[in-house]
Amino acid sequence: MVDRVPWLALPCHSARVSATVSALLLDWYDRSARDLQWRARPGAPRPDPYRVWLSEVMLQQTTVAAVAPYFAGFVETWPTVEALAAAPEEEVMAAWAGLGYYSRARNLVKCARQVAEMGGFPRTEAELRKLPGLGDYTAAAVAAIAFGERAVVVDANVERVVARLFAIRDPLPAARKEIRAAADAITPDERAGDFAQAMMDLGATICSARDAKCLLCPLSGECRGRAEGDPLTLPVKAPKKAKPSRTGTAFWIEREGEVWLVKRPGTGMLGGMRALPDDGWSARGDGHGDAPLAGAWKAGGVVRHSFTHFDLELGVAVHAGEKPVIEGEGEWWAVEEIEAAGLPTLFAKAARLVLASRD
């Protein structure tokens, strides 16, 4: 490891390089920081911890462009953590629909209620980590950005920048311990929040996964990856495993301009969300397996969706009988207002497929 990251092995040189990196990056950030609605501009008072926390939870495995309209909608509807804590969970889940990774939304409500009971967010990384849904990254980000605490914030963008800056060549995920140590070495005691956001901005706009705009990079003179001529090969990623595939069927049951929707179990995939009835995604996907009621069915097409751990091919079966009578828990929802039901993306795709076939 010493020959790969000599800056960490030589304390005097490491301190000089760390100071240089942080100074260069913060100077660049002061001039080039992205304007994001959950941020405070450099030099302005720190942002509301609620907005920092909400944005960081939303941004987990999701792009800034995708998050922006959801964030705006949430803070308009629930402008404070107390307002979010008082919101019915089903309304929050519906507002989250389409953003994916729905366990985040369930934890969002749990965390808001706990914070409201506490009278506000704790300041330290260790205490923040105790809240529902806050892992190492989110706790560090909130501590640094909202409270000015020194915390080492490492997301995918920071991981990439640090791996290139120090030419860390061990494959992920094994390299993460080394990357974190290197990130710790360059994180300043002051302005740790701005430094973390600067690293994120650098990774998102200049030192990206597909490009390395080294001529524009404020750290190019300190970058080992650039000096060695191959920054785009870093970080080294282990080969991706092929995703397994599943099939299943969703059922469209309609009467008098309304469609039958169910609420999925509170835990598991898409937990707590409104959805079309389905067969559990393990049937043949032929349009009539494990149907929720008897009668004639017709094929309504197929939608495809990729989850983190598997790909799904979902056949849509449309009930062909008149005035179906269905038992069990659920609700009839006006077809013309289906977009307001807050269906997760998979079932929204299925609904659009059925309605498009009519057009």
Point out the residues that are catalytic.
56
Report strand pairing: 245-252 vs 311-319.
Answer: parallel
* Rama region for 273: left / alpha / beta (φ>0; ψ in -120 to 50; rest): beta
Q: Residue 222 corresponds to which tokens in the numbers above?
A: 């300190």
In order of 229, 284, 300, the CA distances from 246 in angstroms are 43, 9, 18
Which ranges constitute the DSSP H helices of the chain?
6-9, 11-32, 49-59, 64-77, 81-85, 89-96, 103-118, 125-128, 136-147, 156-165, 176-186, 192-205, 224-227, 345-358
CA distance 271 to 73: 22
Q: Contact, 207 vs 217, CB < 8 A?
A: yes
What is the C-alpha to C-alpha distance for residues 189 and 151, in angstroms, rounded to an integer?
9
Positive or negative CA dihedral for 109, 113, 116, 118? negative
Cα gap 163→16, rounded to integer Å: 19
